Every structure is written in structure tokens, then in C-alpha cells.
Structure 1
């Protein structure tokens, strides 16, 4: 896969009763923040942006962290936008609304 900039939306839905679901979401956001990848936390999902491998690694790392911490069950919803001939950025898509 090319290494042009892509962007993705990642949403975590913990299916748990041992902790408040937001606690698990906070753990996922911490992984994203620590990755150093460009990101924007939203009320329903977090948008991340970087090279293909970098974005996929962050998605993987979020799931690995929840597993390591003992989250019993969760759904990870991901949307990825890829442009084959060049970068696609969130700013490009939202600039007219800023």
C-alpha cells in the first residue's frame, strides 16, 4: 500500500459492566495521543491521519491495549479513506466549514 496520507475514523463501543464505558474509551484515546499521530477527538469517534501503515498500527494498538487491560468485549468501528494517487486529509474535507 502507498504511504500517502490517509485518514480514518475510529469509534470504540465497550460492551462491559465492570467499568463505565467511557473509562475504556479514555484508555483508547490515550493510546492514540501517545502515538503522536495527528488526531481529533470527537464526541462519537476520533479521526486519525497519517501514512497507511501508521494509521493501521494505531488501530491495532488500541485493540491490543484494551485486550491487555482486560476489557471483556468491545466493538471497534473504523472508516478509512484512501486516495490512490495522493494524500487525502481531514483539512481538505472540512476547510470550507472552518
Structure 2
């Protein structure tokens, strides 16, 4: 894949009863925070922005963490926007709506 900047959203939906789902989500957000990738936490998903390989690595790390730490079941909802001829940024798409 190319090396342009892409956008992605990731939403983790734990299907568990062993602990509050927000605890698993908080752990996932900590992985994203520690990755160094540009991100924004929203009420329904976390938006990621970076090079394709960087973004996909973080997505993999979140799912691998949940597996390794014993989360019994979860849904990972993803949206990924890729532009084959150059960068696609959140600022380009939503900057005019920010106050």
C-alpha cells in the first residue's frame, strides 16, 4: 500500500460481563495514545490519522491486546478512507465545521 496519510475510525464493542465494557475501551484507547499516531476520541469511535502501515499496525495492536488480556468477545467496527493519489486528512474533511 502507498505511504500517504489515511483516515480510519475504530470502535471497540466488548461483549463481556466480567468487567465494565468501558474498561476494555479505555485500555484500547491507551494503546492508541501510546502509539504516537494522531487520534481523536469521540463518543462513538476513535479517529486515527497516519500512514497506512502505521494505522493498520495500531488496529492490529488493539485487537491483539484484547485477545492477549482475555477479553472473551468483542466487535471491532472499522471505517478506512484511502486516497490513492495523496493524503486524506481529517482537517480537510471536517475542519470547516470546527469552532
TM range (shorter): over 0.9
- After superposition, where does 1:10-29 map in structure 2 within 5 Å? 10-29=10-29
Partner of 2:93: 93
After TM superposition, give the deviation of residue 95 of structure 1 in Å: 1.2
After TM superposition, the score normalised by the length of structure 2 is: 0.98
Q: Which segments of 5 or more consecutive residues in structure 1 lack a partner in the other structure?
A: none
1:41-97 per-residue CA deviation (whole Å, 9 max, x = no partner) reads: 000000000000000000000001111111000000000000000000001101111
- After superposition, where does 1:58-69 map in structure 2 within 5 Å? 58-69=58-69
After TM superposition, the score normalised by the length of structure 1 is: 0.99
Partner of 1:4: 4
Give the aligned CA root-mean-square deviation in angstroms. Answer: 0.4
Q: Does 1:80 align with 2:80?
A: yes
Q: Does 1:56 align with 2:80?
A: no
Distance in 2, matches of 1:80 and 1:90, equals 12
Give the 3-state SS of the residue equivalent to 1:66 in structure 2: helix
Distance in 2, matches of 1:94 and 1:4, equals 19
